Amino acid sequence: MEKPLKVCFVGSGAISTALGNVLAQTERYEITLLSIESDVVKTINTEQVNKKYFPNFALHPSLSATKDLNALAESDIIFLGIPSNVVVNYVTDNSALFNPNALVVNLAKGFGPEHKTIPQGLARILSNQVFSMKGPSFAREIINNMPTGLTITSQRNKNFEVFEELFSETSVYLDFTTDVNGVELASILKNIYAIIVGIVDAHFDSPNLRSLVLTKAINEMRYIITKFGGKEQTMFNYCGFGDFSLTALNDLSRNRTLGLLIGKGFFTSDISEKVVLEGTIAVNVFVEEIAKKRQIKTKKLMLKELYQVLHQPDYDIKNFVNNILSNSSI
């Protein structure tokens, strides 16, 4: 009889706990959350509750937690469920502990060091096959077993069937692509355009205008993805249109909420120094990188107008909607 797969989630936050619990419910695998938080490890192991992230949710009894880094050496699949700004450094510091045969999956949405995508950073450190898993996925929905679509990507389609089997008979539905760059960029860009939609909705509760801006946003995302080497088709995966619509249209989204605050005039310079969200960081990175590409017409981009909002203290937010609509379409 074959031994069950050992699956490790690095991090015990919301997304790791939610996905780990979904897999634990199948009772086919050994699922462990690798955490640095002693209190979270203790309550998961003794009370089947992650009191910090899901205090009122009973976790499956087979889901365990540990602080022991040896879990990295013992696991067949390693999901990286920690913030994007620490993923590459974490793997660098602990690369010697990783099972060389393990499949490594990035869950974070954002840039790594030097404006590189996280898979690009991980490929320099690990010999393992690296994947990313992205899509429209609020953790509280996942943990309540609401059907959720996620995109799995890797440069090769080898081992895609492992994930099909892993998530079979769960509430998680998968699609697959080898367009790693497109998936990573889509998962970052959607935060930018969620801020834009939030600003628009703060000024006008208009289905017509919202749909117009959503269409412009999708076209801009497609345009930028292709200019940076991704494929248009990726916008039609779960990681593309699906993730963007979730982030742009739901008030659980932090980046949409930021847009609403900006649009209502509550986003002061004092707040901007304290609020560091994926979308605001990504705006700066993309504007810098776009400036290096002469073939991209920056004046047409809503993204560029958002950059002005974030960096001009005297920007009149009442003009934002007119400004983005006066730009020519991509």
Q: What's the CATH class of domain 6-178?
A: alpha beta
Residue 78 in contact with residue 10, Cβ under 8 Å? yes
By the 8 A CB rule, do 30 and 9 touch?
Answer: no
32 within 8 A of 71, measured Cβ to Cβ:
yes
Per-residue tens of pLDDT for the chain, all 330 residues: 568 899 999 999 999 999 999 999 999 999 999 999 999 999 999 999 999 999 999 999 999 999 999 999 999 999 999 998 899 999 999 999 999 999 999 999 888 888 889 999 999 999 999 999 999 999 999 999 999 999 999 999 999 999 999 999 999 999 999 999 999 999 999 999 999 999 999 999 899 999 999 999 999 999 999 988 999 999 999 999 999 999 999 998 988 998 998 998 886 655 555 555 666 777 877 777 776 765 666 667 899 899 888 888 888 999 999 999 987 656
* Amino acid at position 276, single letter: V
How far is residue 179's CA from residue 189's CA, in Å, rounded to a whole number?
Answer: 15
CA 38 to chain CA centroid, nearest Å? 26
Domain 181-326: CATH superfamily, name plus number:
N-(1-d-carboxylethyl)-l-norvaline Dehydrogenase; domain 2 (1.10.1040.10)
Spatial CB neighbours of 289, under 8 Å, sequence gap ≥ 6: 115, 228
Helix (H) or strand (E) holding 45: helix 38-47
Q: Read out DSSP for 156-215? A: S-TTHHHHHHHTTTSSEEEEEES-HHHHHHHHHHHHHHHHHHHHHHHH---HHHHHHHHH
Residue with tokens 């690296």: 130
DSSP 239: I
Do the domains spanning 6-178 and 181-326 agree at the CATH topology level? no
Rounded distance, CA 112 to CA 23, Å? Answer: 28
Q: Where are the domains of the chain?
A: 6-178, 181-326
Element (H, E) at 74: helix 71-74
Contact of 65 with 11, CB cutoff 8 Å: no
For residue 224 the two structure tokens come to 């930028």
Q: Interior CA angle at 162 toward 235 and 100, to 5°?
A: 105
3-state class (DSSP) for residue 272: helix
